Structure 1
Amino acid sequence: MSHLTICDVAVDICNKSIIKPINCTFKAGEFTAILGPNGAGKTTLLKSIMGLIAYSGTMGAFDMNGKTLSRSAYSYLCQLNKTSSYLTVIEVVLLGLVHELNWKISSEQEAKAEAVLQELNLIHLANQRFSDLSGGQQQLVSLAQALVGRPSVLLLDEPTSALDLKHQVQVLELARDYTKRHQCITISVLHDLSMAARYCDHLLLLDHGQIQGEGVPDKVLNEELLSRIYQVEVDVGICSKGHRYITPVRL
């Protein structure tokens, strides 16, 4: 089974320790959420996995034969930013193939972009300008861009931020479904604990750059641990549909 291993990884920025030495493993076919309060080091850890910032220690992703996966097998979706780009939706998606694009787009590359738009039910937007879309639609198209190259490692930085409830559900369902269907290693920074409980298989709870909890949602999302880490009393319950929810009660 493919996996991504982090061994004694630490990150210092401007002589300040952001991530203290941590060890963990992410498995193929699992959707992992990195949780924690603001300033916990969530995005820093995600960027270090992508190789965007320097770190000490070792990490790497390996296929089922133990071969190291190249950076071209990674895909990174950053936090949503409003854009004034005049590119069409399909052109934005094609940028996800930047490692293989040449001066002329091939019919095969265009077919890949159309296929992922079809898979995400976005094909009807293919020729619209990206800048004319709503924030939720832009995030779905950005997810299509991240998926068009069929990554083995998918990294999502707060993919549901600033989205309404419908688009949050769409983004997380699509990410989860892709993870299962393609046996991808998917790691996402999330703030909504209830959404993490609903859609993720594996949770990593950070605080002050250290792992405070790791495992399945039932293990990590307990009232005592969450109240201590987030410094607010929380209530953890099960809704009528059998899903775990987390509600803040009082400071």
Structure 2
Amino acid sequence: MQALNDPVDALGAGAARVLLEAAIRLQRFDACLIPVSPQNLGWARMALSAANGVLHTPVLALVRDLKAGALNDLYTLGLADFVRDPLCTEELRVRIDRLLDARRYNAGRPSSTSKALSEVSGTYSQPSVAAMLDESAMHQTILERSGLELEAFAIASASRCATTKESFRVAKSQVIERFERAYIKAALGRHSGNIAMAARAAQKHRRAFWALMRKHDIDAAPFRVDPGPNLPRDG
């Protein structure tokens, strides 16, 4: 295992490229351990983002005073796992062994496994990073997603938009519009095109829900099933 414990100036030129530039050297190791705290969280995000897709050595974080939102953010950017400070070497060994076992099991598969932390339950789910960034897959299951998953997806979408030439206003508008469109379609699909029921489930006034449908040019008809003789259609 390689421990990245050399001092890193998080504000220095090239700081975000530390993991990227070490990718080849790190191939000789089973894992890379980096310390992450609120003070260098921004650097960790940039470093993981820059190395994503290039660095194939699993990166673990030795974390201190980080909350679930920050950890989920790191997972969406490529973090493989974490241990808390003070470090327990036995726990670290077990986590690395599990990562290596998972890599061997998934060898040859197209997607890798990532973990999303649920601070409330204390358990882990394992959605892939690719799935988290797949907007169509996310939107199709948006009503089944947890708050933490939606937060992680929003962070990942924002991080991706930040690398484009679009302004903050334009990028934010696009993310919100995609969310609204996906949510409205999912709600209509769940309630078979019944606008009143979909609006009630979304806790929105029917007129406001209808306004969103018009805004995104969404028709309820394709979501309706053929009604029985005693089932009135919702106009």
Same fold (TM over 0.5): no
Structure 1 or 2: larger strand share?
A: 1
TM normalised by structure 1 equals 0.30
| TM-score, normalised relative to structure 2 | 0.31
Please identify the structure whose Cα radius of gyration is greater: 2
Bigger relative CO (Cα 8 Å, ≥ 6 apart): 1
